[in-house]
Structure 1
Amino acid sequence: MFNIPAITWTLTAVLLLSGSYHVLQATRPQQVTDRINNALHALMNILMAAMLWNLAPSTMLAQIAVLSGAALWFVIQAVARPEFKVLCADNRGRLKCVYHSVSMGGAAVMIAMMGQVSGGHAPAHAMSMRNAHHSLTVTAPTTAAATIDHSPGLVVLLTATFGAAAAVFIILGVRRGLGKSYRRRASRLSLRPGHGLEALGAATMAMMFAAMS
């Protein structure tokens, strides 16, 4: 899959588009928690786009640490007590935070599988994308700890998870408002761009994990 430049560029464009959207949302006047959440989403998309081009492999451990911390942050929001209104207070918000936690964790897992783990040396059976040819390269075994071949079940599980998430967001995005009032219908319709972007993001993650299986 990754040896096709058009697919690489398409995935990069989707990730940067999503990242730009979250950067814009993070700059708008709103609660501090929302700003942090959007900033974390923007960062995740940028890191995923950089991973496609094998950029900054020496910072892989830092990237994994940041994404893991972001996953934990969303878990904390999901399990927070209802009185903390700035966090995920209602059921819909909690489900959203759980999904975003899975997204952050999935991105960390992908970077661990695709990246380098020891001083710039290539990991065992790792896939690295080169700018010149956009080709998929298999390197010789080293002492790297994280490899794709060691966790095929996890790759399949994450592929299915993000594929299902993309389908759910598509359904939510195309569903028409059922309320009688115009205000309620407009409110539902206003959610469609967000659902569409979430669907694109989930589909991108599913495609990238599917390429590893």
Structure 2
Amino acid sequence: MFSIPAVTWTLTAVLLLSGSYHFMAAARAHRLTDRVNNGLHALMTVLMAAMLWNLAPSTMLVQIAVLGAAALWFVIQAVARPEFKLLCAGSQGRLKCVYHSLTMAAAAVMVAMMGHVTTGSHGTAPMDGMSMSGMSMGHDHHAMAAAAQSTVAVTSSHSPGLAILLTVFFGTAAVIFMILLLRFRAAKTAHRHHGTPRRTFGADHGLEAIGAAVMALMFATMVA
């Protein structure tokens, strides 16, 4: 995805470290929903890391289905009735689940967009290299190649606008989570003698900021 190997390796390391954190959080969690939620986040980070290297493109539909189901799962949690205490509770928890559902849906969109790019860059090449005898067969070949190229062009013509929108969205989200992290640290310092806030909140804000920044960078590469 990125032309600079150092950037690709750095983002891969960040994603895998984030995935490891969510995996360990899932293993330590006592509630089933926390295990599922952290497990889904760990899976999403692994899939995003795979996208950086264009790995397993043949499983694109499976990846989209899994990420779409994960997005639906977070939506269900966000709109669940208050008596279901195991799901998202309170306005802050529901807002967090809404954001996570958008993140999962955006990851599914990214997989689909990467799949179209892969198809566009590799799908017509074998056809161009084939040697065919007969003018009619050659005409059919060029017609099929032109149709494939036009299909990819139509698909990608709508991608830049969506990529820009998602880049701005996740870039804004990264800034918001960084502000929340700084506010958390300030509150922790100010109330050190009156009770320390839970550390997990700060870690969560930091992870969300990093994840949003990575999503923004990956979508930014799809703008052109």
The equivalent residue for 1:166 is: 174
Q: Which runs of 5 or more structure 2 residues have no equivalent in the other structure?
A: 123-147
Q: Larger Cα Rg: Structure 1 or Structure 2? A: 2
Question: Corresponding residue for 2:131?
Answer: none
Equivalent residues in 2 for 1:1-213 (5 A)? 2-115=2-115, 122-124=118-120, 141=149, 143=151, 147-175=155-183, 176-177=186-187, 180=191, 182=193, 184=195, 186-187=196-197, 189-213=199-223
Aligned CA distance change for structure 1 residues 196 and 172 (closer, same or farther; 3 Å): same
Contact 1:16 1:45 in 2 (8 A): yes
Whether the 8 Å contact between 1:123 and 1:143 is mirrored in structure 2 is no
- Cα pair distance change 1:45/1:75, threshold 3 Å: same
C-alpha spacing 1:156/1:115, structure 2 compared with 1 (3 Å):
same
Which string of whole-angstrom CA distances, capped at 9 and with x for unpartnered residues, describes residues 5-59 of structure 1? 0110111111101100000000004210000000000000000000111111100
Identity level (%): 64
Q: What secondary structure sits across from 1:212 in the alignment?
A: coil
Contact 1:125 1:149 (C-alpha < 8 Å) held by counterparts? no
Structure having the higher helix fraction is: 2
Give TM-score, length-normalised by structure 1.
0.84
For structure 1, the residue ranges without an aligned partner over 5 or more in a row are: 127-139
User: Structure 1 100/146 Cα, relative in aligned 2: closer, same or farther at 3 Å?
Assistant: farther
Q: CA deviation at 1:183?
A: 5.5
Take 1:53 and 1:142, find their aligned partners in 2: how far apart are those partners? Answer: 26
Equivalent residues, number: 195
Deviation track 1:58-115 (CA, whole Å, cap 9, x = no partner) reads 0000000000000000000000011100001110100100110010000000010002
